[in-house]
Structure 1
Amino acid sequence: MRLPICLCLLLFMMPAAAEPASASVERLHAALLESMRGGVQMSCAQRLQLLDAAVGDSFDVAGLARLVLRRHWASLDRRQQATFVELLRRNIGLNYAQHFARHAGERFETTGETAVETAADGQRRVSARLLAADAEPVSFDYVLTPSGDSWRIVNVFADGVSDVALRRSQYDSVVGRQGVAALLEQAAAQNEDLLRRCNQASRTGESG
């Protein structure tokens, strides 16, 4: 009788299964829709508070930073790495705040989840669409990596265009020509410009 009892105890002690990768994506989408529905009643500061939290919950920003800088990552000291990760996190939130600030009936639809066969760390790809009554659907493909019992986004494809590839091209050019210090300065300046636009849009009722 010992064996069945032991088996029951083992089953009871096993950790709960990890949530699907799509759950992380859908939490992000819920925050984006909340930002859109807030419209002109939501200030820039309120929108960023919402979206910064969503980015922190859904993205592996440190992993994304390493991906976009590639060989340049090792040339940053620890303080510079931490600064770049924070600038990147802020940049993602600011970009979402600019583009998801008004709602006209749009909704997100998750269309699939598959394994990334070329990845060695169990990555998943989640596909989704942003649907609107008066525009063509926008397709999104998210690449997520496991993180404990959940998943974190490390790349986003919008209509087939990779965010990582775009950022790599931009950052490689800056670091190659001007160095790491210039990269951090330009990233901070870009965030300041996005913040200015966010505040201006809140005052005028416009969106990016």
Structure 2
Amino acid sequence: MALKLKNIIPAILVTVAPVAAFAQASDPAATQIDAYHNAIIEIMKQGKSLGISGRITRFETLVHDYYDMPTMTSLVVGSGWSSASQADRDQAIAALEHHSAVMLASNFVSYGGEQFKTELPVTSRGSDKLVRATITSDKLIYRMRFSQGKWRIVDIISDGVSQLAVQRADFSSTVASNGIPGLVHKLATIDAKTMK
């Protein structure tokens, strides 16, 4: 089953049901990715029996636990983040978190036994860590940052393309025209179409 890695957005790995192959991770960031992979597998093993709503609920918990959504959302919004009210920030974080869960739930539907492998060594880049993973024959890099007591995903890179940068570009005109409320509305519109 071919992956569409260029369509990944935060937490949006597409179309393949992975089997985690442990990296014998001594690095805590790699350990987190192993745990993330296995959590995806557990949801996928329940497949369609959960239904789309059930999968979204499960993936929302996963995104909340493994992603640094405040950092990611601030980077998607860009310069307007610093002047935004706390209420707007909270709404944007919740909207992007839900959106990520919807995308995961719509793409990870059933378990097919494909391999999802975390690779060592982990590379440090400033305060971030880069954890490589192979999904079948495709390569991903998770950029991770220590936040709220553990390493969390802040970006996914495939074919050298930062998915966070893609998201920021995709939503920049919406944010420029209508601010954070416009972004929240745009995400909700996309989610409603995806869930049909």
TM-score, length-scaled by structure 1: 0.74
Q: How does 1:109-148 map to 2 (within 5 A)?
A: 109-117=117-125, 119=126, 122-131=127-136, 137-147=137-147
1:43, CA displacement in angstroms?
1.6
Q: 1:70 to 1:116 in 2, by over 3 A?
A: farther
1:49, CA displacement in angstroms?
2.4
Kept in 1: contact 2:175–2:182 (CA 8 A): yes
Tell me which of 52, 77, 98 is aligned to 1:90.
98
What is the number of residues matched between the two proteins?
A: 171
> 1:35 matched to which residue of 2?
43
Larger relative contact order (CA 8 Å, sep ≥ 6): 2
1:149, CA displacement in angstroms?
4.3
The two structures, once aligned, show a CA RMSD in angstroms of 2.0
Kept in 1: contact 2:77–2:180 (CA 8 A): no
Counterpart CA distance in 1 for 2:167 and 2:148 is 27
1:57 maps onto 2:62 in alignment: no
Moved over 4 A (4+): none
Counterpart CA distance in 2 for 1:104 and 1:193 is 26
- Aligned partner of 1:23: which letter? T
> Which secondary structure state, in structure 2, belongs to the residue aligned with residue 101 of structure 1?
coil
1:52, CA displacement in angstroms?
1.2
1:193 maps onto 2:193 in alignment: yes
Task: Using the aligned pairs only, state the percent identity.
Answer: 24
TM-score, length-scaled by structure 2: 0.79
Q: 1:167 to 1:123 in 2, by over 3 A?
A: same
Higher helix share goes to which structure? 1
> Which secondary structure state, in structure 1, belongs to the residue aligned with residue 82 of structure 2?
helix
Q: 1:23 to 1:62 in 2, by over 3 A?
A: same
Counterpart CA distance in 2 for 1:149 and 1:76 is 26
Counterpart CA distance in 2 for 1:113 and 1:82 is 35
1:40, CA displacement in angstroms?
2.4
Counterpart CA distance in 1 for 2:57 and 2:182 is 28
1:70, CA displacement in angstroms?
1.9
Counterpart CA distance in 2 for 1:149 and 1:180 is 28
> Which secondary structure state, in structure 2, belongs to the residue aligned with residue 155 of structure 1?
strand
Counterpart CA distance in 2 for 1:64 and 1:42 is 28
> Which secondary structure state, in structure 1, belongs to the residue aligned with residue 175 of structure 2?
helix
* Rg larger in structure: 1
User: Which segments of 5 or more consecutive residues in structure 2 lack a partner in the other structure?
Assistant: 1-25
Kept in 2: contact 1:21–1:124 (CA 8 A): yes
1:111, CA displacement in angstroms?
1.4
